């Protein structure tokens, strides 16, 4: 398949004097080769020791168009090709490279890995690329973040010793920069050499690197529809996007489909061949398949006109139904459907019928509390979900009710035990302290520290913070997500955690993100599309690879913890995290209290545990973090409400701003509780709740068969004046004095923050505990304001409502 890069035409038409060589030459070459450039990451490092001449030469011999390597500066000012700050991992030497001379010391070392190679210098690479036969090879120099910017001066001297100006070098080299502080030095010392941002954060790329010539982004950070918009944005500006480090076939294929311009890989030969072979593959629908599709559609319209009396709704088109009208925002779609077709209407996703319910009285049956309810399953049978093995495991997609009930019982009791909740409050406080230290460091680094004020993007911090909290309470392991973020913002690896731990966790967290993409894709994409349309088929394969990898990682985590438990002496206490509880329940080391009953006497299998842990993380993090951001936004907009909340904190904690929070304190925070509910009502973080009819049924005299998909339009119910007085008004007091005579009454099924019936959110109490603890921690310590009081809150949807770029200003209160 000949793929023309989306931005190539534009590049070709641009005046060449307005472009640097990187964008210009890349544009030309790519339209010619019709696939991403292959860049040898540290050379052909899967075959030969990384960052050596042997490895770089091999990458070129394999047919790579470019090479990538890292540079470090020695004590005697030589630029050597090395990744780490230390010699220890890859060479026979020890200690910091910056503390050793090249001459007389590093020059005598070799690689640890065979065949033993000398340590290369930048000079050597320059010699190689200056050869006539290599004049087409292009290179990315990774200027590692821990280097002093003076390495760029040393680099400049080496270039100058070959050519007086940088014209020749700028055609072959580009500088990979991690931190914006290097940019002015690069522009001064190496004028004309293109600069590429290297990193893992698209937000940082957008905010601090808008003036560079290209982007080299970690593969996983480009995963997801929103993330891939970044590639389009960059292309619209004529800037290429590369991805690192691509060592899986499915990843390479994804990069190709996303329009990534170059992939950095350790396995150069494999990918040069891979793309060569791929282009020869034929992809066309066979005649049999086409026939099958026609018969299927005829049957669909027969049923549509003859069998059911359709509800109001748009007419479904062949094959796609009303799918094309869906623009990725469930709440807006639900609201426009309701406006046009009323509170009870229908649409078709492909050939599948979906009923939409937008009023509390319509959902009465759906949220019946009975365990014999007709609505205990959430999603209609979808082969895609079977393929990724979630329909008999975990919760949300589990169609096996026996297995779901078994899991749910243990999950519920594990996370609602008081031991677990207490631990959660302690962990949140400890991690908040660490995050607060990072904020202090960043505040000190910023120039304006007057009045101890500090501005931060709360939405970025909170998704990472809550990920860490939920990770620790479920697995007793850190995710280091906000420490990683701090390192990126500060430009140095200054958080106290080890680089290996942090990289491993970062990969895991990214993998969870891919798993979520996979769930959505396999749930929404019809089987026929996944099987027969090449673009969907490839995406399906690649996402399946991500799911398998994540399952494997969690299985390893579980077996590791099982061993740790076995090694722990019987008298020693085990940590009350969820993984340990689920591993020990119904075993002699059971640390849960009355968790099991007569019907639930066996231990959980590793696969069951995996499902429970993964869903706790996936379902708990974004929901809680985004709810917290929306709370902070509302408290910024409504100072009266904030004042009442602070008075409540004062009545519970006194004026001791430092006293630690006990789990019991949180029950006393009734106004705080009301704020959370009111914000959640107005924002409807989870805008659609799904159910499937197990048997034929009827709502308001409209009959529908078994296995009909039902979607509940939550914002419509949360904002319906029939259920709520002045629904547009932010008024937490509507949740006070419930159950008191003459007090407020909440209409049945009108508040669906956590869903309803037996499939209601099992993390409800944990979420409320977490949110209250965070509110106390932030508002007791700081005066918090919105940076822009007039700006409406920004958000986007992907399954749930995500708060975007919430900029707040915090000022430390004076301790009494
Ligand atoms: C403010 C935070 C949260 C909100 C707004 C929220 C909301 C929801 C909603 C609306 C549902 C669907 C319920 C239904 O279908 O009736 C749900 C399901 C679920 N939630 Fe939460 N949730 C939050 C936090 C959490 C946390 C912290 C956890 C666990 C650690 C969690 C775990 C789950 C699980 C496992 C399900 C699936 C239950 C099932 O299908 O049986 N949630 N949540």
Higher per-residue confidence, 793 vs 444:
793
**How much is the pLDDT for 598?**
64
65-88: average pLDDT: 95
pLDDT at 274 > cutoff 90: no
Whether the predicted pLDDT of 815 surpasses 90: no
What is residue 296's predicted lDDT score, i.e. its pLDDT?
Answer: 75
Q: Is 615 in the pocket of ligand 1 (CB under 6 A)?
A: yes
Ligand 1 pocket, residue 396 CB under 6 Å: yes
pLDDT surpasses 90 at 718:
yes
When the pLDDT of each residue in the chain is averaged and rounded to a whole number, the result is 86
Burial bucket for residue 703 (CB in 10 Å: 0-12, 13-18, 19+): exposed
Residue range 750-791, pLDDT digits in tens: 999 999 999 999 999 999 999 999 999 999 999 999 999 989
In ligand 1, which atom is closest to the CA atom of 766?
A: 27
Q: What is the pLDDT of residue 16?
A: 36
**Nearest CA, atom 37, ligand 1:** 396
Residue 623 Cβ contacting ligand 1 at under 6 Å: yes
Predicted local distance difference test score (pLDDT) of residue 596:
53
395 pocket-lining for ligand 1 (C-beta < 6 Å): yes
Range 316-327 average pLDDT: 85
What is the mean pLDDT of the segment spanning 191-212?
Answer: 90
Distance CA 291, CA 296 (A): 9
Degrees to nearest 5, angle at CA 462 with 460 and 465: 115
Q: Is the pLDDT of residue 196 over 70?
A: yes
Residue finishing a domain among 269, 297, 318 = 269
Question: Which atom of ligand 1 lies nearest, measured to the CA of 755?
Answer: 16
Q: Residues 250-276: what's their mean pLDDT?
A: 86
Among 269, 285, 300, where does a domain finish? 269
Give me the pLDDT at residue 29, please.
45
The pLDDT score that the predictor gives to residue 289 is 62
- At 495, the pLDDT band (50, 70, 90 cuts) reads low
CA of 401 to the centre of ligand 1 (A): 18
CA-proximal residue: ligand 1, atom 17 (nearest): 761
Residue 399, ligand 1, Cβ within 6 A:
no
Between the CA of 350 and the centroid of ligand 1 the distance, in Å, is 28
Could you read off the pLDDT of 508-517 as tens digits, one per residue? 777 787 888 8
Report if residue 716 sits inside a domain: no
- Nearest residue by C-alpha to atom 1 in ligand 1: 624
Q: Is 155 in the pocket of ligand 1 (CB under 6 A)?
A: no
The percentage of the chain sitting over the pLDDT mark of 70, rounded to a whole number, equals 90
Question: What's the predicted TM-score (pTM) here?
Answer: 0.70
Domain containing 45 equals 4-269
Burial class (CB in 10 A: 0-12, 13-18, 19+), 236: exposed
Taking the C-alpha atoms of residue 730 and residue 636, their distance in angstroms, rounded to an integer, is 12
Residue 708 lies in a domain: no
Residue 503, C-beta contacts closer than 8 angstroms, at least 6 positions apart: none
Question: Ligand 1 centre and the CA of 624: distance in Å?
Answer: 10
Decide which of 1 and 796 is more confident.
Answer: 796
The reply to whether 252 falls in a domain is: yes
Cα 367 to averaged position of ligand 1 atoms, centre (Å): 15
DSSP, res 588: T
Q: Pick the atom of ligand 1 nearest to 404's CA.
A: 41
User: What CATH number corresponds to the domain at position 604?
Assistant: 1.10.630.10
Q: What percent of the chain has pLDDT over 90?
A: 51
First to last CA, the chain: 70
**Contact (Cβ atoms closer than 8 angstroms) between residue 194 and residue 213:** yes
Residue at 710 is within a domain: no
Going from the C-alpha of 149 to that of each of 72, 175, 198, 205, 770, the distances in angstroms are: 11, 12, 16, 19, 42
Atom of ligand 1 nearest to the CA of 685: 5
Ligand 1, atom 19, residue with closest C-alpha: 761
**pLDDT score of 25:** 54
**Statement: residue 278 has pLDDT above 50:** yes
Cα(767) to centroid(ligand 1), Å: 9
| Average pLDDT of span 142-167 | 87
d(CA 196, CA 337): 45
Beta strand spans in 350-476 (E) = 352-357, 453-457
Considering only CA atoms, which residue is closest to atom 11 of ligand 1? Answer: 761
Q: Ligand 1 centre from 412 Cα, in Å?
A: 11
CATH of the domain at 35: 3.20.20.190
Average pLDDT over residues 468-476: 93
Q: Which atom of ligand 1 is nearest to the CA of 680?
A: 5
Which of 469, 421, 431 lies closest to 581 in space, CA to CA? 421
**Residue range 9-38, pLDDT digits in tens:** 333 333 333 344 455 455 444 444 567 889
49 CA to middle of ligand 1, Å? 48
Evaluate: CB of 611 within 6 angstroms of ligand 1: no
In angstroms, rounded to a whole number, what is the distance separating the alpha carbons of residues 686 and 316? 26
pLDDT at residue 26 in the model: 52
- The more confidently predicted of residues 509 and 493 is 509
Structure tokens at 100: 């050793």
pLDDT at 174: 93
What was the pLDDT predicted at 361? 95
Does the beta carbon of 756 sit less than 6 angstroms from any atom of ligand 1? Answer: yes
Is the Cβ atom of 367 under 6 angstroms away from ligand 1? no
Contact (Cβ atoms closer than 8 angstroms) between residue 474 and residue 577: yes
Ligand 1 atom closest to Cα of residue 396: 40
- So what's the pLDDT on residue 492? 66
Would you say residue 7 has pLDDT above 50? no
pLDDT in the model for residue 679: 98
Taking the CA of residue 411 as reference, the ligand 1 atom at the shortest distance is 35
- Residue 577 CA, chain-centre distance (Å), reads 23
* Nearest protein CA to atom 3 of ligand 1, as residue: 623
Expressed in angstroms and rounded, the spacing between residue 760 Cα and the centre of ligand 1 is 7
643 within domain boundaries:
yes
| Residue 69 to residue 209: CA distance in whole angstroms | 21
What is the pairing mode between strands 37-41 and 262-265? parallel
* Atom number, ligand 1, closest to the C-alpha of residue 686: 10
For residue 398, which atom of ligand 1 is closest to its CA? 40
Residue 144 bridge partners (DSSP):
none
Rounded to the nearest angstrom, the distance between the alpha carbon of 233 and the centre of ligand 1 is: 34
Nearest CA to 635 out of 685, 661, 672, 684 is that of: 672
Lowest mean pLDDT among 91-100, 344-353, 630-639: 344-353
Among 369, 472, 615, 619, residue to substitute to test ligand 1 (most atoms within 8 Å of Cβ): 619
pLDDT at 47: 93
336 located within any domain:
no
Residue 769 Cα, ligand 1 centroid: separation in angstroms? Answer: 14
Ligand 1 mutation pick, 623, 673, 774, max ligand atoms within 8 A of CB: 623
Do the Cβ atoms of 273 and 33 come closer than 8 Å? Answer: no
Most confident among 119-133, 266-280, 480-494 (mean pLDDT): 119-133
142 pLDDT above the threshold of 60: yes
> What confidence tens digit (pLDDT) does each residue in 418-434 have?
888 999 999 999 999 99
Pocket test for ligand 1, best of 427, 754, 765, 797 (most atoms within 8 A of CB): 754
Name the β-bridge partners of 808: 456, 786
Provide the pLDDT for residue 9.
36
Cα 615 to ligand 1 centroid, rounded to whole Å: 9
Q: How many domains, in total, are found in the chain?
A: 2
DSSP code, position 4: -
Q: What is the spatial distance between Cα 761 and Cα 412, in angstroms, rounded to a whole number?
A: 10
Q: Is 761 in the pocket of ligand 1 (CB under 6 A)?
A: yes
pLDDT at site 2: 24
The stretch 393-414 carries a mean pLDDT of 86
Residue 300, domain member (yes or no): no
Domain boundary among 214, 239, 269: 269
* Residue 761 annotated as binding site: yes
Q: Is the CB of 767 under 6 A from ligand 1?
A: yes
In a domain, 732, yes or no: no
Lowest mean pLDDT among 79-88, 281-290, 307-316, 372-381: 281-290
The pLDDT assigned to 287 comes to 59
Nearest-atom index, ligand 1, CA of 627: 1
pLDDT over 70 at 448, yes or no: no
Higher per-residue confidence, 164 vs 581: 581
**Interval 637-646 mean pLDDT:** 97
C-beta atoms surrounding 533 within 10 Å: 16
């Amino acid at each position: 398949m000949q793929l023309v890069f989306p931005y190539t035409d534009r590049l070709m038409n641009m005046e060449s004097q307005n472009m640097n060589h990187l964008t210009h030459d890349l544009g030309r070459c790519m339209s010619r080769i019709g696939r991403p450039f292959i860049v040898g990451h540290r050379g052909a490092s899967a075959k030969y020791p990384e960052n050596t001449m042997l490895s770089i030469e091999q990458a070129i011999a394999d047919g790579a168009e470019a090479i990538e390597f890292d540079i470090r500066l020695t004590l005697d000012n030589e630029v050597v090709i090395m990744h780490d700050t230390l010699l220890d991992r890859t060479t026979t030497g020890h200690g910091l490279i910056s503390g050793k001379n090249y001459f007389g010391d590093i020059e005598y070392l070799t690689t640890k890995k065979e065949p033993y190679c000398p340590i290369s210098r930048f000079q050597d690479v320059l010699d190689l690329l200056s050869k006539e036969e290599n004049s087409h090879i292009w290179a990315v120099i990774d200027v590692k973040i821990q280097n002093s910017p003076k390495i760029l001066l040393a680099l400049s001297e080496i270039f100058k010793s070959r050519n007086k100006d940088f014209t020749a070098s700028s055609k072959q080299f580009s500088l990979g920069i991690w931190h914006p502080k290097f940019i002015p030095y690069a522009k001064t010392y190496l004028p004309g050499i293109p600069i590429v941002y290297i990193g893992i954060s698209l937000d940082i790329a957008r905010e601090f690197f808008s003036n560079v010539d290209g982007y080299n982004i970690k593969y996983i950070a480009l995963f997801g529809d929103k993330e891939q918009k970044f590639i389009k944005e960059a292309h619209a500006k004529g800037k290429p996007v590369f991805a690192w480090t691509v060592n899986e076939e499915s990843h390479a294929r994804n990069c190709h489909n996303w329009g990534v311009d170059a992939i950095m890989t350790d396995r150069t030969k494999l990918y040069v061949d891979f793309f060569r072979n791929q282009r020869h593959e034929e992809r066309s629908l066979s005649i049999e398949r086409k026939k099958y599709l026609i018969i299927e559609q005829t049957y669909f319209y027969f049923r549509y006109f003859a069998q059911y009396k359709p509800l109001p709704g748009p007419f479904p088109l062949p094959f796609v139904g009303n799918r094309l009208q869906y623009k990725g925002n469930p709440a807006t779609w639900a609201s426009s459907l309701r406006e046009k077709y009323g509170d009870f209407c229908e649409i078709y996703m492909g050939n599948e019928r979906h009923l939409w319910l937008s009023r509390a009285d319509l959902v009465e049956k759906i949220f019946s509390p009975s365990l014999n309810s007709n609505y205990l399953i959430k999603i209609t049978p979808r082969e895609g979900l079977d393929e990724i093995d979630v329909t008999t495991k975990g919760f949300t997609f589990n169609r096996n009710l026996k297995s779901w009930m078994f899991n749910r019982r243990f999950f519920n009791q594990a996370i609602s035990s008081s031991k677990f909740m207490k631990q959660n409050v302690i962990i949140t406080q400890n991690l908040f302290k660490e995050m607060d230290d990072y904020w202090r460091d960043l505040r000190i680094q910023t120039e304006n520290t007057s009045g101890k004020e500090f501005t931060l993007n709360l939405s970025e911090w909170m998704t990472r913070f809550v990920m860490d909290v939920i990770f620790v309470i479920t697995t007793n392991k850190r995710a280091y997500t906000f420490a990683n973020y701090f390192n990126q913002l500060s430009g140095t690896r200054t958080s106290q955690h080890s680089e290996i731990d942090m990289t491993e966790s970062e990969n895991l967290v990214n993998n969870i993100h891919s798993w979520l993409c996979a769930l959505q894709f396999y749930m929404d994409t019809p089987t026929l599309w996944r099987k027969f349309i090449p673009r969907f088929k490839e995406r399906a394969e690649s996402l399946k690879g991500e799911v398998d990898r994540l399952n494997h990682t969690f299985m390893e985590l579980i077996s590791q913890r099982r061993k740790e438990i076995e090694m722990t002496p019987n008298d020693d206490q085990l940590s009350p995290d969820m993984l340990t509880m689920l591993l020990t329940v119904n075993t002699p080391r059971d640390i849960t209290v009355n968790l099991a009953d007569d019907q639930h006497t066996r231990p959980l299998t590793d696969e069951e545990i995996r499902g429970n842990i993964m869903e706790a993380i996936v379902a708990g993090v974004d929901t809680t973090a985004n709810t917290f951001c929306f709370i902070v936004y509302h408290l910024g907009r409504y100072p009266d409400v904030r004042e009442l909340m602070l008075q409540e904190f004062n009545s519970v904690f006194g004026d001791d701003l430092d006293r630690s929070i006990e789990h019991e304190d949180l029950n006393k925070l009734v106004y705080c509780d009301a704020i959370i509910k009111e914000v959640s009502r107005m924002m409807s973080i989870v805008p659609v709740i799904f159910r499937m009819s197990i048997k034929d049924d009827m709502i308001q005299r409209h009959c529908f068969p078994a296995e009909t998909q039902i979607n509940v339009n939550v914002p419509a119910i949360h904002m319906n004046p029939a259920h709520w007085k002045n629904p547009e008004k932010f008024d937490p007091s509507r949740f006070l004095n419930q159950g008191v005579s003459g007090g407020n009454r909440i209409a049945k099924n009108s508040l669906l923050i956590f869903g309803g019936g037996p499939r209601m959110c099992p993390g409800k109490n944990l979420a409320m505990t977490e949110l209250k603890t965070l509110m106390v921690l932030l508002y007791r310590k700081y005066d918090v304001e919105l940076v822009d009081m007039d700006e409406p809150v920004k958000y986007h949807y992907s399954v749930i409502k995500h708060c975007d770029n919430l900029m707040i200003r915090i000022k430390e209160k004076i301790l009494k």
